[in-house]
A and B are shown apart, each in its own frame.
Chain A
Amino acid sequence: MLQAQYVDGRSTRVRTVSLSVSGTDLVITADDLQRAEPLAGVVFDEQLGNAPRRVRLADGAFCEVRDLDGLRALMASARLRDGWVDRAQRHLPWVLMSVVGCVALVAAGYRWGLPWGARMLAQRLPPAISAMLSRQTLKALDGGMLLPSQLDGARQASLRSQFQALRLPDGEPIRWTLLFRRSPALGANAFTLPDGTIVLLDDLVAQLDNDQQVMAVLAHELGHAQGRHGMQLLLRSSAVGAFLAFYLGDFSQLLAAAPAALAQARYSQSLEWQADEYGSAVMRANGMSPALLADALRLLSKSHHDAAGVSYLTSHPPTAERMRRLEELAQLRPVQPSH
């Protein structure tokens, strides 16, 4: 006999009853009560911690059982079993495996799932969305972090026409826009917006030796534009932001941070390498040596020490590995003059 507190579901009155199983029925007995309910219609609530467990009858009445072992024995005698989630929740090996599983899944999701999802989504999103996001990013940055360029009109026109004269490796013309800006905060820098618009900052032009080197940097940025890396990064950081907001329970920070984060975005090493590779292909297709980009990076790193603020190098570190690969690409095939 198992003791329980019986409530009829119509009043708050509590009666002490005893529970037993007889055939396919659950039998509830007290001095003034005798009920037999078919077990098929009885719901045994999950065991959550050491809370009293409820046995619910079809008409809204229920029994509250504090003797959890007794109830388990009663259920066993009726050949009833708790659900698997219910059992896993209080089975130490399963709990420990869940800890490992959660940590592993979150880490794997961040390492592989996030870049993969961002790449897939970035390729499928309509251009209107990336155009809108770029417009807004620029709007948020202009007048704040970004100031109008101080390069004179002729210089801008010359750089722009050289840029537009570049051909992509597949022979296609450039379909992205080049913008000129100046930024004391970002220093010698160039970056690509989600829709492929490339922003070139004055200090970068000033610190490089010649226009060929500027074109080399732009060729690298074309790699970011072609691979929609800006959109991928935006998607990644929004996903991380959404996750953190969900986890910390605060959605308010979600909406504000994107534009600034984008300008100072650190592309991942693999995206950098992709951009280098594509940029090298662009350079070769236009009769330039990929070594030009390595030269440009070396020049920027030389002047890096006296330049204040963020520079191209914080987002594009000239690692030994990267320089070696660029130099290798330069030697891969003799440069063919195309004009």
Chain B
Amino acid sequence: MDQTTANAPQPTAAPARQPQPILFTGRGSEYFGIWIVNLLLTIVTLGIYSSWAKVRRLQYFYRHTELAGSTFDFHGRPLRMFYGRLIALGMLLIYSYSVRLHSLVTLLVLALLALVMPWLLRNSLRFRLYNTSWRGTRFHFRGTVAGAYRVFLLNGFLTMITLYIMAPFMHQRLKSYQHDNSWFGRTRCSFHAGAGRFYLVYLLVLAAIIGFFVVLSMAGVFNAFASINAAQHGGGRVDPSAIFRTMLITYGVAILFGVSIGPAFHALINNLVWNNTRIGEHRLECRMSPVKLAWITLTNLLLLVPTIGLFTPWAAVRLAKYQLESVRLLPASDLQEFVDAEPESPGAVGEEAATAFDFDISL
């Protein structure tokens, strides 16, 4: 077979030992058509079509993500995701109703939800990974239910009673539960970052926040002196427009910082997590710049407002492209070795419930 005549890129024609970058080839203008047509169908069907729309969205992003010449794919069935969404919606209604009740029923319902959530979250991980494939081979999640209760319930409880001092530890346990139990075909993934390194990231971000407020309040004090000085020179009159300008700048800077610190933290954590995750013997490398990610998030936000949300597809593509393309696979041997192992088929309930309650436990 003459492979040089093929105009398509050659997937792993030679043993791929060099670093393999992830490429994202999606384009905002292309995704816009998919997004808006599915949005219209979702509105017309009063939200029912949103499960079909979500499958298309995931498929668009997965299929435009390329590693070693092959793309990823998403296999979730819309109807199963729809059932999951219904259950999630039901739970959300029960939750919001019972929170307003302020009685014994509230506690009972919350306890019940706390008991169900770890199981659902674990199923959600299982569903998402099982329906993800690369080059026809599926991923699997094999975390136990007991492990889910330990991570989500016990560690969550410990985090709360220690006033979030244990939050980085909890985060590490969560990522370890997630990545140590993930499989690609028959190849198991492993996670190697200790809790200490999570504490380092958290402390760094905390220091940045404290530092920002110290600088901001020092600037405020300095500015106050300056304006008192100006007022004395101006015959005791304070210029109101100057005060307004100062307030505007202060709030503006604070909002910019508030919007940027989340993505910056996200970038640092992602670097830590992916640099310490292995797929079998193969390593990953993630070089996300906190500043760049904050910049992308910020400019996306600034463009979404005046376009009444119509910029969404470009924003999503831009963000995905930067995040995905900062990851590389460092193969230890030929990638051909991965062989499929037939998995079980979990339901979609967990995933939908998890997204409705907005627990972000993925990349």
Q: Number of residues in B with C-beta < 8 Å to the partner?
A: 55
Q: Is the CB of A102 within 8 A of B1?
A: no
Q: Which residues of A contact B239 (CB under 8 A)?
A: none
Q: How far is the CB of B106 from chain A (nearest CB, A)?
A: 12
Q: Which residues of B contact A251 (CB under 8 A)?
A: 92, 356-358
Contact A95-B135, Cβ < 8 Å, known A51-B64, A106-B43: no
Q: Is the CB of B30 within 8 A of A50?
A: yes
Q: Which residues of A contact B76 (CB under 8 A)?
A: none
Contact A11-B43, Cβ < 8 Å, known A52-B63, A54-B73, A88-B37: no
A62 lies within 8 A of chain B by Cβ? yes
Chain B residue at minimum C-beta to C-beta distance from A4: B8
Mark out the residues of chain B between 153 and 204 whose CB falls within 8 Å of any chain A CB in the assembled complex.
185
Q: Which residues of B contact A132 (CB under 8 A)?
A: 100-101
Q: Is the CB of A49 within 8 A of B32?
A: no
A41 lies within 8 A of chain B by Cβ? no
Q: Which residues of A contact B222 (CB under 8 A)?
A: none
Q: Is the CB of B39 within 8 A of A102?
A: yes
Mark out the residues of chain B between 309 and 363 whose CB falls within 8 Å of any chain A CB in the assembled complex.
309-310, 335-340, 356-358
User: In the bound complex, how far is the Cα of B27 from the Cα of A6, in angstroms?
Assistant: 26
Contact A105-B44, Cβ < 8 Å, known A5-B8, A255-B99: yes
Interface centre among B8, B73, B92 (most CB of A within 10 A): B8
Q: Which residues of A contact B64 (CB under 8 A)?
A: 48-51
Q: Specify the main secondary structure of chain A where it touches its partner.
A: mixed
**Contact residues on A (Cβ < 8 Å of other chain), bracket:** 35 or more
Chain B residue at minimum C-beta to C-beta distance from A8: B136
Q: Is the CB of A102 within 8 A of B43?
A: yes
User: In the bound complex, how far is the Cα of B338 from the Cα of A250, in angstroms?
Assistant: 39
A321 lies within 8 A of chain B by Cβ? no
**Which residues does B use to contact A, with CB under 8 Å?**
1, 3, 6-8, 11-12, 25-27, 30-34, 36-41, 43-44, 56, 59-60, 63-64, 69-71, 73, 92, 96, 99-102, 134-137, 185, 308-310, 335-340, 356-358
* With A5-B8, A98-B37 already in contact, 18 other A-B pairs whose C-beta atoms are closer than 8 Å: A3-B6, A5-B70, A7-B135, A10-B340, A11-B137, A12-B136, A14-B12, A16-B1, A46-B56, A49-B26, A54-B73, A62-B136, A66-B8, A85-B37, A89-B33, A98-B36, A99-B36, A251-B356
Q: What are the 7 A-B residue pairs with the smallest beta carbon separation, nearest first?
A: A51-B63, A7-B136, A49-B30, A98-B40, A98-B36, A95-B33, A12-B338
